[in-house]
Chain A
Amino acid sequence: MAVATAISDEGAVDVRDRGDVRRQIRLVSVFGLVLLALVFFYLKIDDFGVKYTLGERVTKDDPAKDLDAQTIMIAGLVVVAVALLLAVVNKVPKGALGGLIYFLVGVAFFAGFVFWNYADQTGTFSVAIINPFPGTIRLATPLIFGALAGCLCERAGVINIAIEGQFLMGAFFASVASSLAFSAEMGLVGGIAAGVAMAALLGVFALRYQVNQVVLGVVLIALATGLTDFLLSQIPDDPDIKKYLNEPLILEKVPVSGLVDIPVIGPALFNQTILVYIMYGSVVFVTLLLFQTTWGLRVRSVGEHPKAADTVGINVNRIRWQAVLIGGVFAGLGGAFFTVGSTGTFDSNASAGNGFIALAAVIMGRWHPVGATLASLLFGFCFTLQAQLAFLDKIPGELLRASPYLVTVIAVAGFVGRVRPPAADGEPYVKS
């Protein structure tokens, strides 16, 4: 019987609960490891001279400037040492203040890690630290679209593992549509159509035939991989034909005049393609849709307690269908990023596992569009950092390429803590 306990904290015995003990152990070990890593970085660096630029690359007009890495690293060491001390005496606050401490420790670690990578360069050209935010936003864009699709589906109680499949199909058909119409914007329409079509498949099997949704998701990904590879192989090499099928126009950057001149974040946020601007709007749109509209209330009710929704006259499966199909729109846009939004032509496995990272972002963001967006930005940041550090030789490239996925696993397993998915997530609704 799932009856909520109505027990107050009044009269509680002075007992330390094991959850609190585990939290302390976790914090002490994480902060301790970070401190050790920072000390290691600090001791390994001989020459603290590091150059940086606020642009995305060093140009003649914007030469690299010198950075006092030593002071920043010492500040970082102090921050982490204080955090560790708080953890040892179990005085790390909970809530927003605790969040700030985690954030500062994270920043300190990243700073130390980055300086260690960039310091003591042996090559003839010295590589400068560049502004990571434009890359972060760009690489997070498909993740955010995918995560929005995931949020919509799972809030309605349908598990969507197949975001990766929706990405692949979206990417392929965005390329085809753009090539046929000689218009990058038409590519977005093609991507949406493919994303919605995949969502419809998900809907038919999950809602109409009540197939196990996890197995179904895996099958849909396999289908999308196979189908896009097959179709790609059917496109002839003859350039006269190929240009109509897989030589899409690419979305161009549209700087927002005025806003783009804001230092650091201006070029990151406001010198992007139309797809990125659509992404900003989508996050706001989905958040409002889920939490401020009639439809959103119904979506969340069918994801939490479908029978309760049914007993007040809500058609559970109809709402779920709508949520899955609207999710398909966003997943398709996310897919379009991989062709018309970035590199152009569709290659085999163009989405390269981004769909799975989007899925992780949904969980890490606790099934909330804003949370999922923040998680996506973290992953986007890791991708950007990885791309930059690949120029340096401190860490083996193979390990570096695995790092965003490593962060995903650690983030989902370790830092999310107890999360509560929508109560009826993945459960087909059958009237009894």
Chain B
Amino acid sequence: MKLEIKGLTKRFGSFTANDHIDLTIEPGEIHCLLGENGAGKSTLMNMLYGLLDPTEGEILVDGQPVTFKSPSDAIAAGIGMVHQHFMLVPVFTVAENVMLGREQVSVPGVLSRRKASAMVTELSERYGLRVDPGTLVEALPVGVQQRVEIIKALSNEAKVLILDEPTAVLTPQEIDELMDIMRSLKEQGTSIIFITHKLREVKAVGDRISVIRRGKVVGTAPPSTSEAELAEMMVGREVKLKVDKDPPDTGAVVMSVEGCTVVDPRGHQVVKDVSFEARAGEVLGIAGVQGNGQTELIKALLGLVKPDAGVIRLDGDDISRHGPRESLDDGIGYIPEDRSHDGYVGAFSVRENLILDIYRSDEFSTGLALKLDDIAANADARIKEFDIRTESAETPVSSLSGGNQQKVVVAREFSRPLKVLIASQPTRGVDVGSIEFIHKRIISERDKGTAVIIVSTELDEIFTLSDRIAVMYDGRIVATVSPDIAREDIGLLMAGATPDSGPASGKTEEVPA
């Protein structure tokens, strides 16, 4: 099946998300769609999948113009989509999720779970996607959930499969597996649209690469194009893919964690006996696939949850029982992984968000009253210093771009003296320009003698920033390694191989704590 997009345009009010996009997907090719966050990739795919109506332009399937009023039209036309945020019902089994919308029945209207299981088993054998049809989806690791999504699309006889940022939640090993799956799908005649912002991946698996920037296709390139060239097409200017930094000037231990254990409300131990030390002037990277206990560990460090066992010390003082207010006073800075949830108040102005953590200080308040002039002056200074692109200091933060929202959070956290900076996914959903800037600020904070802890699921970010890398898997720190470890080896550690049992043994370098 050949899919053509001609002059497809989508406007939201005065904002043009997609501007006359032309693309052709040939049968049996892997067509990569490369672009930054907010470039308009998802808008384009949502139009292809019938979730959004195009403002202008047309979609042709095998030369015939089609209109998709809803996803069922797109599915009927042979288009399947694996969404970035999985469209799976967590409390349903694999089989129930796969058949939803096109249910397997014994008599009309009555579900046949047996037939659905058989269908899942058949598909999973044909395409090599191992999964047990009877398991509840919420009990599956994300990599397997993604397989369920792919099976779901294939069960609708998809000829064109759209994969929207499929690698964001996977370990390096799972990414390799996914690429094998993509190749085998291609051999069986399925075309794939592979959306990503990771250069390495498009080069590894793509047949053709189309780059989208600010809602326009800026070019189509063969996979032999160099990473630097692709990055330049994507961003529109030359970008440095590495941050320059000096070797760390490591000082005393600032934060030490001993045997920290956290039990979640359902009674599962999500952090198990974690110990590490963070030293002044050093970046400790915590690598790991999402959902391996990083979030809960960070919450414990910040005092948002109290550890069920273990001790957290700051400069030798036990802070395990401290709450968030005391953590702030202790000098712990925090850049949260989900800024819209934990980082700022969207309806508040930039000015107000910049003092959310320090409005109590004498600098910004007397008694019950806020010192509005001082707050305004502070905001102006921060906006300048951190290059926050906003119309004014009174603009609500929710109307800024992702990168600038993150700069507001970073500016606020960096505007008080810190002993420890904890940054969780500091550049998620941030444009490449802002990533460079935020990385530089984090390194300069390190050089001021702050202990920095970076939690990230992006290996590139871990390698760029870290002076030491702790790998978390299944709630534990499985190894602490130096950043010159090979990518594949850290990948194995993230997938649970232990340094002394896995093939990584010879190369893993244990850094003495």
By a beta-carbon cutoff of 8 Å, the part of chain A in contact with chain B is 1, 3-13, 15-20, 292-298, 300-301, 304-305, 307-315, 418, 423, 431
Q: A350 vs B180: C-alpha distance in the bound complex, in angstroms?
A: 67
> A3-B290, A7-B474 given as contacts; is B100 within 8 A of A13 (CB)?
no
Q: How far apart are the CA atoms of A397 and B249 in the complex, in Å?
A: 78
Contacting A305 at CB < 8 Å: which of B90, B105, B142? B90
Contact A17 B308 (CB under 8 A): yes
A17 and B293 form a contact (CB under 8 A): no
Q: Do B91 and A304 touch across chains, with their CB atoms under 8 A apart?
A: yes
Q: Are B292 and A5 in contact (CB-based, < 8 A)?
A: yes
Selected contact of B309 from candidates A1, A9, A13, A309, CB within 8 Å: A13
Residues of A within 8 A of B141 (CB): 6
Whether B100 pairs with A19 at a CB distance below 8 angstroms is no
Chain B residues within 8 Å of A314, by CB:
100-101
Chain B, 335-366, contact with A by CB distance < 8 Å: what is the 0/1 string?
00110000000000000000000000000000
For window 33-82 of B, CB contacts with A under 8 Å fall at: 49, 51, 70-73, 75, 81
Residue of B91, B96, B138 ringed by the most chain A CB atoms within 10 A: B91
CA distance A409 to B88 in the complex (A): 35
Considering the chains assembled together, what is the distance between the CA atoms of A55 and B71 in angstroms? 61
Q: Which of B18-26, B188-196, B258-266 makes up part of the contact surface?
A: B258-266
* Chain B positions 399-450 with a Cβ under 8 Å from a chain A Cβ: none
Q: How far is the CA of A418 from the CA of B266 in the complex (A)?
A: 9
Which of B267-275, B278-286, B382-390, B460-468 lies at the interface? B267-275
Contact of A12 among B100, B101, B142, B272 (CB under 8 A): B272
Q: Are B101 and A312 in contact, with the CB atoms below 8 A?
A: yes
CB 8 Å contact bits of B287-316 with A (1 = contact, 0 = none): 000111100000000000000110000000
Complex Cα distance, B49 from A298, in Å, reads 20
Of the candidates A15, A295, A309, the one whose C-beta lies within 8 Å of that of B109 is A295
Contact B272 A13 (CB under 8 A): yes
Which chain B residues lie closer than 8 Å to A311 at the CB level? 49, 51, 71, 81, 83, 87
Cα distance, A304 to B100, chains bound together (Å): 13
Evaluate contact between A7 and B269: CB separation under 8 angstroms: yes
Q: Give chain B residues whose Cβ lies under 8 Å from the Cβ of A10.
A: 474
By the criterion CB–CB under 8 Å, are B169 and A19 in contact? no
B272-A310 in contact (CB<8A): no
Q: Does A15 contact B261, Cβ atoms closer than 8 Å? A: yes
**A312 contacts across to B, CB distance below 8 A:** 71-72, 75, 87, 100-102, 152, 156
Name the CB-closest residue of B to A1: B338
Report A245 CB to chain B, min CB distance, Å: 41
B135-166 vs A, Cβ < 8 Å mask (1 yes, 0 no) = 00010111001000000100010000000000
A305 near B138: Cβ-Cβ < 8 Å? no
Residue of A with least CB distance to B473 = A7
From A312, which residue of chain B is reached at the shortest CB distance? B101
**Pair count A-B, CB < 8 A:** 142
Whether the pair B261, A13 counts as a contact (CB closer than 8 A) is yes
Q: How far is the CA of A15 from the CA of B100 in the complex (A)?
A: 41
A426–B201 alpha-carbon span in the complex (Å): 40
What is the chain B residue whose CB lies nearest that of A10? B474
Q: Residue B103 at the A interface, CB < 8 A?
A: yes
The answer on a CB contact under 8 Å between B263 and A17 is yes
Please determine whether A3 and B291 come into contact, CB atoms closer than 8 angstroms.
Answer: yes
* Least Cβ–Cβ distance between B383 and chain A, in angstroms: 28
Given contacts A7-B269, A20-B267, A418-B265, 17 further A-B contacts (CB under 8 A): A3-B142, A4-B145, A11-B273, A13-B272, A17-B263, A19-B267, A295-B109, A297-B103, A297-B111, A301-B100, A308-B100, A311-B51, A311-B71, A311-B81, A311-B87, A312-B71, A313-B72
Q: Give which listed residue, A12, A13, A292, A418, contacts B110 with CB less than 8 A.
A: A292
Q: Which residues of B contact A18 (CB under 8 A)?
A: 263, 308
5 A–B contacts from the bound complex (CB under 8 Å): A5-B293, A11-B273, A17-B269, A307-B87, A312-B72
A304 to B86, CA, bound (A): 13
Quick one: given A6-B142, A7-B475, A308-B89, are A19 and B269 in contact (CB under 8 Å)? no
Known: A304-B89, A310-B71. A3 touches B169 (CB 8 A): yes
What mask results when residues 472 to 502 of chain B are scored 1 for a CB within 8 Å of chain A, else 0? 0011100000000000000000000000000
Determine the chain A residues whose CB is within 8 A of the CB of B127 once the complex forms. none
Residues A9 and B103 in contact, CB atoms below 8 Å apart:
no
B51 touching A431, Cβ below 8 Å: yes
Complex Cα–Cα for A4 and B338 (A): 15
Least CB distance, A20 to chain B, in whole angstroms: 7
Interface mask (B87-123 → A, CB under 8 Å = 1, otherwise 0): 1111110001101111101000111000000000000
On whether the beta carbons of B273 and A13 are closer than 8 Å, the reply is: yes
Contact between B100 and A298 (Cβ–Cβ < 8 Å)? Answer: yes
Point out the residues of chain B lying under 8 angstroms from A17, CB to CB.
263, 267, 269, 308
- In-complex Cβ contact of A11 among B91, B105, B476 (8 A): B476
Bound: A132/B270 CA distance, A: 48
Chain B residues closer than 8 Å to A423, beta-carbon distance: 90-91
**Shortest Cβ distance from residue A395 to the other chain B in the assembled complex, whole angstroms:** 38
Closest to A288 in B: B110
Is there contact, CB below 8 Å, between A9 and B263? no
Residue of B nearest to A4 (CB): B138
Q: Which 10 A-B pairs have the closest CB atoms?
A: A313-B72, A312-B101, A17-B263, A308-B87, A6-B141, A15-B309, A5-B291, A294-B103, A12-B269, A13-B273
Cα–Cα, bound, A17→B262 (Å): 8
Residues of A within 8 A of B264 (CB): 5
